[in-house]
A and B are shown apart, each in its own frame.
Chain A
Amino acid sequence: MQKALLRQLKRTIGIEDEAALTLLLEKLHAAASSAETDSAGLFNGLRELLERIDASYEQYERDLQLRTRSLEISSRELSALNDQLRQELLARENALISLRDAVRVLLPNTAAGNDSIILAEADLGALSQRLADLVAESETSRRALTNQKFALDQHAIVSITDTAGNIIYANDRFCQISEFSRQQLLGQNHRIINSGLHSAEFFRDMWQTISQGRVWHGELRNRSKSGKLYWVNATVVPFPGEDGLPEQYISIRTDITDRKQMEAQLSEQLHLVEELVEAIPLPMYLKDAEGRYLRLNRAFELFFNLRREDFIGRTLHDLLSPQDAAVHLVKDRELMRKPGTQTYEAVVHGRDGVRHEAIYRKAALTQLDGTVYGVLGVIIDITERKLAERETLLAKEAAEAASRAKSEFLANMSHEIRTPMNGIIGMTDLALDTALTDEQREYMAAVKSSADSLLTIINDILDFSKIEAGKLLVEHISFDLHRLLAETLKPLALRAYEKNIEIVCEILPAVPSHVFGDPGRIRQVLINLIGNAIKFTEQGEIDLRVSLQEPADNPARVHFAVRDTGIGIAPEKQQLIFDAFSQEDSSTTRKYGGTGLGLSISRRLVDLMGGEMWLESEIDRGSTFHFAIPLQIDEFPPQARPAQIKMRGHRILIVDDNETNRRVLAGMLEAWEIIPTLAASGQMALELLQKNETAFDCILLDAHMPELDGYQLAARLRRSFATLPPMLMLSSGAMRGDAQRCQEVGIAGFFSKPIAAEELLAALCRIFDSTRNHQPLPADRLVTRHSLRELQPALDVLLVEDHPLNQKLAVSLLEKWGHRTTIANNGQEAVVRYAERSFDVILMDMQMPVMSGIEATRRIRHYEKQSALPHTPIIAMTANAMQSDRDACLAAGMDDYLAKPISAKELLEKLLTCGAPALAPATPIARFDYGEALRLADREMVDMIAGVFLDTWEHNIQRLRDGLANNDSRPIARTAQCLHRLLITFKAEPAARLAGEIEGQARLGQLAELAPSIDQLAGEIDQLAGLLSALADYP
Chain B
Amino acid sequence: MQIVQKSIGKPEQLTSQLATLNMPDASLLLAFGSVAHFSATGFVDALRSACPQAILLGCSTAGEITGDGVEDGSCTLTAIRFDKITASCASTPLAEMADSYAAGQRLGLQLAAPDLKSVLVFGPGVEINGSALVNGLTAVLGSSMPITGGLAGDGGAFRQTFTLGPQGISDRTVVALGLHGEHLHFGHGSFGGWEAFGPARKVTRCAGNVLFELDGEPALAVYKRYLGEHAKDLPASGLLFPLAMLGEDHNSIGLIRTILGIDEAAGSLTLAGEILADGYLKLMHSSTEKLVHGAETAARAAAQMLAAPTEQLALLVSCVGRKLVMGGRVDEEVDAVSEVFGKQTVLTGFYSYGEISPFMPGSSCLLHNQTMTITCLSED
**Hey, which bits of chain A sit against chain B, CB under 8 A?**
52, 55-56, 58-59, 62-63, 65-67, 69-71, 73-74, 77-78, 81
CB distance B327 to A70 under 8 Å? no
Given that A69-B228, A73-B226 are contacting pairs, would A59 and B199 also be in contact in the complex, using a CB cutoff of 8 Å?
Answer: no
CB distance B285 to A74 under 8 Å? no
A66→B226 CA distance, assembly (Å) = 8
Q: List 14 A-B contacts (CB under 8 A).
A: A55-B328, A56-B327, A59-B329, A62-B230, A63-B325, A65-B228, A66-B228, A70-B241, A70-B283, A70-B285, A71-B197, A74-B197, A74-B199, A78-B198
CB distance A66 to B240 under 8 Å? yes
CB distance A81 to B283 under 8 Å? no
CB distance A59 to B328 under 8 Å? yes
**Residue B49, interface by CB 8 Å:** no
**Among the listed B198, B228, B240, which residue makes an inter-chain contact with A74, where contact means beta carbons less than 8 Å apart?**
B198
A62→B325 CA distance, assembly (Å) = 9
Complex: chain A residue closest to B329, CB-CB: A56
A81→B328 CA distance, assembly (Å) = 38
Which B residues, 285 to 325, have Cβ-Cβ distances below 8 Å to chain A? 285, 287-288, 325
Given that A66-B285, A70-B285 are contacting pairs, would A77 and B329 also be in contact in the complex, using a CB cutoff of 8 Å?
Answer: no
Chain B residues with Cβ under 8 A from A77's Cβ?
A: 198-199
A775→B357 CA distance, assembly (Å) = 154
In order of increasing CB-CB distance, the 10 nearest A-B pairs are A74-B198, A59-B327, A55-B328, A52-B328, A77-B199, A78-B199, A81-B199, A69-B228, A56-B328, A74-B197
Could you mark each residue 326-367 of chain B with 1 if its beta carbon is under 8 Å from any beta carbon of chain A, else 0?
A: 111100000000000000000000000000000000000000
Complex: chain A residue closest to B240, CB-CB: A66
A81→B201 CA distance, assembly (Å) = 11
List 13 additional contacts besides A59-B327, A70-B241, A70-B283; criterion CB under 8 Å: A55-B328, A59-B326, A59-B328, A62-B230, A63-B325, A66-B226, A66-B230, A66-B240, A69-B228, A73-B225, A74-B198, A77-B199, A81-B199
**Among the listed A63, A74, A78, which residue makes an inter-chain contact with B287, where contact means beta carbons less than 8 Å apart?**
A63
Chain A residues with Cβ under 8 A from B197's Cβ?
A: 70-71, 74
A70→B227 CA distance, assembly (Å) = 8
Chain B residues with Cβ under 8 A from A74's Cβ?
A: 197-199, 283
Least CB distance from A361 to B in Å reads 103
Complex: chain A residue closest to B326, CB-CB: A59
Complex: chain B residue closest to A66, CB-CB: B240
Chain A residues with Cβ under 8 A from B283's Cβ?
A: 70, 74
A81→B214 CA distance, assembly (Å) = 14
A73→B223 CA distance, assembly (Å) = 11
Complex: chain A residue closest to B197, CB-CB: A74
Least CB distance from B259 to A in Å reads 15
Chain B residues with Cβ under 8 A from A70's Cβ?
A: 197-198, 226, 241, 283, 285
Which B residues, 22 to 78, have Cβ-Cβ distances below 8 Å to chain A? none
SS class, residues of chain A in contact with chain B: helix
From A52, A59, A66, A81, name the one whose CB has the most chain B CB atoms within 10 angstroms: A66
Chain A residues with Cβ under 8 A from B199's Cβ?
A: 74, 77-78, 81
Chain A residues with Cβ under 8 A from B230's Cβ?
A: 62, 66
**Among the listed B226, B288, B327, which residue makes an inter-chain contact with A55, where contact means beta carbons less than 8 Å apart?**
B327
CB distance A67 to B285 under 8 Å? yes
Complex: chain A residue closest to B287, CB-CB: A63
A78→B197 CA distance, assembly (Å) = 11
Chain B residues with Cβ under 8 A from A62's Cβ?
A: 230
Chain B residues with Cβ under 8 A from A59's Cβ?
A: 288, 326-329
Chain B residues with Cβ under 8 A from A63's Cβ?
A: 287, 325
Least CB distance from B220 to A in Å reads 15
Chain A residues with Cβ under 8 A from B227's Cβ?
A: 66
Chain B residues with Cβ under 8 A from A56's Cβ?
A: 327-329
Which B residues, 94 to 142, have Cβ-Cβ distances below 8 Å to chain A? none
Least CB distance from A184 to B in Å reads 64
Least CB distance from A52 to B in Å reads 5
Complex: chain B residue closest to A55, CB-CB: B328
Complex: chain B residue closest to A63, CB-CB: B287
Chain B residues with Cβ under 8 A from A71's Cβ?
A: 197
A59→B227 CA distance, assembly (Å) = 15
A66→B288 CA distance, assembly (Å) = 14
A69→B227 CA distance, assembly (Å) = 8
A77→B200 CA distance, assembly (Å) = 10
Least CB distance from B58 to A in Å reads 29
Least CB distance from B56 to A in Å reads 35
Least CB distance from A47 to B in Å reads 14
Which B residues, 168 to 208, have Cβ-Cβ distances below 8 Å to chain A? 197-199
Complex: chain B residue closest to A69, CB-CB: B228
Complex: chain A residue closest to B230, CB-CB: A66
Chain A residues with Cβ under 8 A from B228's Cβ?
A: 65-66, 69
Least CB distance from B86 to A in Å reads 45
Chain A residues with Cβ under 8 A from B288's Cβ?
A: 59
Least CB distance from A76 to B in Å reads 10
Chain A residues with Cβ under 8 A from B241's Cβ?
A: 70
Complex: chain B residue closest to A54, CB-CB: B328
From A65, A70, A71, name the one whose CB has the most chain B CB atoms within 10 angstroms: A70
Complex: chain B residue closest to A65, CB-CB: B228
A81→B327 CA distance, assembly (Å) = 34
From B198, B225, B283, B287, name the one whose CB has the most chain A CB atoms within 10 angstroms: B198
Least CB distance from B338 to A in Å reads 20
Which B residues, 238 to 275, have Cβ-Cβ distances below 8 Å to chain A? 240-241
A77→B225 CA distance, assembly (Å) = 11
Complex: chain A residue closest to B286, CB-CB: A63
Least CB distance from B72 to A in Å reads 13
Least CB distance from B3 to A in Å reads 30
A73→B327 CA distance, assembly (Å) = 24
A71→B241 CA distance, assembly (Å) = 13
A78→B198 CA distance, assembly (Å) = 7
A62→B285 CA distance, assembly (Å) = 13
A81→B250 CA distance, assembly (Å) = 15
A58→B329 CA distance, assembly (Å) = 12
A71→B197 CA distance, assembly (Å) = 8
A70→B197 CA distance, assembly (Å) = 9
From A58, A59, A67, name the one whose CB has the most chain B CB atoms within 10 angstroms: A59
Least CB distance from B223 to A in Å reads 11
A73→B217 CA distance, assembly (Å) = 15
Chain A residues with Cβ under 8 A from B328's Cβ?
A: 52, 55-56, 59
Least CB distance from A48 to B in Å reads 10
A65→B287 CA distance, assembly (Å) = 13
Chain A residues with Cβ under 8 A from B325's Cβ?
A: 63
A556→B283 CA distance, assembly (Å) = 132
Chain B residues with Cβ under 8 A from A67's Cβ?
A: 285
Chain B residues with Cβ under 8 A from A73's Cβ?
A: 198, 225-226
Chain A residues with Cβ under 8 A from B225's Cβ?
A: 73
A58→B228 CA distance, assembly (Å) = 17
Least CB distance from B189 to A in Å reads 26
Chain A residues with Cβ under 8 A from B198's Cβ?
A: 70, 73-74, 77-78
Chain B residues with Cβ under 8 A from A65's Cβ?
A: 228
Which B residues, 207 to 237, have Cβ-Cβ distances below 8 Å to chain A? 225-228, 230
Which B residues, 127 to 163, have Cβ-Cβ distances below 8 Å to chain A? none
Chain B residues with Cβ under 8 A from A58's Cβ?
A: 327
Chain A residues with Cβ under 8 A from B327's Cβ?
A: 55-56, 58-59
A387→B300 CA distance, assembly (Å) = 148
Least CB distance from A706 to B in Å reads 135
A52→B199 CA distance, assembly (Å) = 35
A71→B285 CA distance, assembly (Å) = 11
Chain B residues with Cβ under 8 A from A55's Cβ?
A: 327-328
Least CB distance from B71 to A in Å reads 14
Chain A residues with Cβ under 8 A from B326's Cβ?
A: 59
Least CB distance from B94 to A in Å reads 34
Given that A74-B199, A78-B198 are contacting pairs, would A69 and B226 also be in contact in the complex, using a CB cutoff of 8 Å?
Answer: yes
A71→B195 CA distance, assembly (Å) = 13
A645→B197 CA distance, assembly (Å) = 153
A73→B222 CA distance, assembly (Å) = 10
A56→B331 CA distance, assembly (Å) = 13
A69→B226 CA distance, assembly (Å) = 7
